[in-house]
Amino acid sequence: MNRMLDSEEAEVMAVEVAEAPSMMSEPLLPDRSYLRVVEALLFAASEPLDEQSLAKALPAGTDVSALLHWLQDEYSGRGVNLVRVAGKWQFRTAGDLAFLLRKETIEPHKLSRAAIETLAIVAYHQPVTRAEIEAIRGVMVSKGTLDSLLEAGWVRIRGRKRTPGRPVTYGTTDAFLAHFGLDDIGDLPGADELRAAGFLDAIPPSALSIPQPSHALAPDEDSFEAEEVEEGALETPQH
């Protein structure tokens, strides 16, 4: 069986293809040839690829988005589909065939009910602080609960609120989107979808509203990464 390429190897492969004169120096290559290049790179990659990485394997000005949607249409009725997750593209088994590939395994790390509830709150209410999570759940959130979500790679520390104490804010990651098959955090199910799935009463309380989560910084939030860089610069010894 051929070894799967990681994202770095796939990007190197893309650059090599782009620089190969035998393929890309032909001035009249049809779009179908470009389609095959995109298909090969996506098939060989072990992780989703973004359009910028794929564009490196194609002549400047090539409409990568159109090629991807063309390829997506070609695979729409097959056992493998081209899907977009977290803003990137990847081949995945068709959803209606998942039962054929499912196998029973023992999960070594299973999220607790508290962790699942906390993850849902973070996903829908981000940016959200620990105190806000506790206020929504109505109980205290243990350090272990948040740690398990951070270790799973589904939750990250995204910033600090401009309030006394400067509490950190939490949000979801691209790994969260990829695991649940979402392209954007805005694709989370809304009230209608939750009601149809039986998670909400047919006539929910009048005060109920589904928040609109966002990856963008809130007006009262500062970037955690920027703050770390600034603190690191202050701690750097001057010579």
DSSP string for residues in 213-234: --SSPPTTEEEHHHHHHHHHHH
Q: How confident is the model at residue 154 (pLDDT cuts 50, 70, 90)?
A: very high
The stretches of 138-202 forming alpha helices (DSSP H) are 143-152, 174-179, 191-196
pLDDT at 216 over 80: no
The better pLDDT of the pair 153, 29 is held by 153
pLDDT of residue 62: 87
pLDDT at 218 over 50: yes
The SS3 assignment for 109 reads: coil
Task: Say what the pTM is.
Answer: 0.53
Are the CB atoms for 203 and 189 separated by under 8 Å? no
Across the range 192-214, mean pLDDT stands at 62
CATH number for 113-235 (one of 1.10.10.10, 3.40.462.10, 3.90.1170.40, 3.30.70.20): it is 1.10.10.10
pLDDT of residue 61: 84
Contacts of 123 (CB under 8 A, 6+ apart): 172, 176, 185, 188, 213
Across the range 7-14, mean pLDDT stands at 58
Q: How confident is the model at residue 207 (pLDDT cuts 50, 70, 90)?
A: low
Mean pLDDT score across all residues of the chain = 77
Nearest-angstrom CA–CA distance, 131 and 227: 21
pLDDT at 134 over 70: yes
Reference 122, options 220, 216, 213; nearest CA is 213
CATH number for 7-101 (one of 1.10.540.10, 3.30.2290.10, 3.40.109.10, 1.10.10.10): it is 1.10.10.10
Nearest-angstrom CA–CA distance, 64 and 35: 9
Distance of CA 59 to the CA centre of its chain: 28
- The values of phi and psi at residue 208, to 5°, are -70, 135
Write a three-state SS string for 23-83: HHCCCCCCHHHHHHHHHHHHHHECCCECHHHHHCCCCCCCCHHHHHHHHHHHCCCCCEEEE
- As given in the structure block, the two tokens for residue 108 are 């070594």
Domain ranges in the chain? Answer: 7-101, 113-235
Whether 7-101 shares its CATH topology with 113-235 is answered yes
The better pLDDT of the pair 64, 13 is held by 64
* Percent of the chain residues past pLDDT 90, beyond the cut: 21
Distance of CA 192 to the CA centre of its chain: 23
Q: How confident is the model at residue 234 (pLDDT cuts 50, 70, 90)?
A: very low
Q: How confident is the model at residue 122 (pLDDT cuts 50, 70, 90)?
A: very high
Hey, what amino acid is at 42?
L
Nearest-angstrom CA–CA distance, 182 and 86: 6
pLDDT of residue 239: 37
Across the range 199-213, mean pLDDT stands at 59
pLDDT at 28 over 70: no
Across the range 10-38, mean pLDDT stands at 58
The better pLDDT of the pair 33, 125 is held by 125
pLDDT at 12 over 60: no
The better pLDDT of the pair 219, 80 is held by 80
Reference 79, options 57, 99, 53, 54; nearest CA is 99
pLDDT of residue 173: 92
pLDDT at 168 over 80: yes
For residue 161, how many other CB atoms are within 10 A of its CB? 19
Across the range 87-101, mean pLDDT stands at 84
Buried-state track 55-71, b at ≥16 Cβ within 10 A, e below 16? bbbbeeebebeebbebb
Nearest-angstrom CA–CA distance, 1 and 206: 57
Work out the end-to-end distance of the chain between its first and last CA atoms, rounded to an integer number of angstroms.
55
